[in-house]
Amino acid sequence: MVNKVKVLVLRGPGTNCDGEAVFAFEQAGATATRVHINQLIRKEISLFDFQIMVVPGGFLYGDDIAAGKVLANELKVKLGEEVARFIDDGRLILGICNGFQVLVKAGILPRLKKGEPQRLTLTNNDSGKFECRWVYLNVNRKSPCVFTKGMERMYIPVAHGEGKIAGDLTAITDKNIVVTYMDEKGNQSAGYPWNPNGSMRDIAGICDDSGRVFALMPHPERHIRGTQHPQWTRFGAKKHGDGFPVFQNAVKYAATI
């Protein structure tokens, strides 16, 4: 019997999308376990018992200081070596919404060398308010991203107040840009509200050079089933939602590790 892919869904005070992340990965055929950050820090659970680590959405530590910053510091200071080895071993990391903020501010994505300053960040939406809406995403087919292999577009929701990518975009290359906001006609420079936060170059998600570390602001785990589409009763429900292939691709890849 082939062992199932094991997924660590990281949580802490304020995480609120861990249940959806567990469900999505289990629907894709993996075994997913919620693990508190303190369990990793105290060595009660080993990161290396898993092939995939997910940092899900929420408001970790109340987003005090800045969104995701407190957990980012914990990962960087207390678990930095383990996370670096986890990546170097060929395993996968997915950050969603608050998880994207965490990975960027921890220097995991884009991956920073020791002592290298952070050049990108996620900051307040241009609208000055929390944005909760469905968005269209274009998938960059030239990206090496493992999670979006074979995908062309997605229609999934956002829910964030600090989702604007800003800073020095030379920190990433075109192939690191995995998903960008667009309108329903495919216009990738449509502006607000299709780009809900004012993110530079309409960027919604990025990956590292290997394609195994991926993070995005929209929530693929909230569109797993066709009946989660806001207009499924009008247009009919597909078997799976647009976000489901993200998890299928991850599980399929991780099974080869």
Region 125-132: what's the mean pLDDT? 98
Is 80 exceeded by the pLDDT of residue 82?
Answer: yes
At 170-228, the pLDDT tens digits run 999 999 999 999 999 999 999 999 999 999 999 999 999 999 999 999 999 999 999 99
Given this model, what pLDDT does residue 191 score? 96
Structure confidence at residue 245 (pLDDT): 98
Q: What is the CATH number of the domain that holds 38?
A: 3.40.50.880
Helices within the chain (DSSP H only): 18-27, 37-41, 69-78, 80-88, 98-105, 232-235, 244-254
**Annotated catalytic residue: which of 145, 160, 221, 223?**
221
* Residue 206 β-bridge partners: 177, 215
- Domain contains 73: yes
Domain count, the chain: 1
CA quadruple 204, 25, 35, 145: dihedral sign = negative
- Give the per-residue pLDDT at 17: 97
Per residue in 42-76, pLDDT tens? 999 999 999 999 999 999 999 988 999 999 999 99
Q: State yes or no: is 97 an active-site residue.
A: yes
Helix 244-254, helix 18-27: angle, nearest 10: 60
Taking residue 5's Cβ as centre, other Cβ atoms within 10 Å add up to 23
More confident residue, 26 or 2: 26
What CA–CA distance (Å, rounded) separates 193 from 140?
21
What does the pLDDT average to over 148-172?
Answer: 97
User: Which residue in the list 97, 160, 223, 229 is annotated as catalytic?
Assistant: 97
Q: Is 221 an annotated catalytic residue?
A: yes
Q: Decide if 66 is inside a domain.
A: yes
201 Cβ contact partners less than 8 Å away, ≥ 6 residues apart: 165, 169, 177, 180
Region 134-157: what's the mean pLDDT?
98
pLDDT bucket at 1, cuts 50 / 70 / 90: very low
Domain span at 128: 6-254
2 — pLDDT class (breaks 50, 70, 90): low
- Residue 1 located in a structural domain: no
**pLDDT tens figures, 215-228:** 999 999 999 999 99
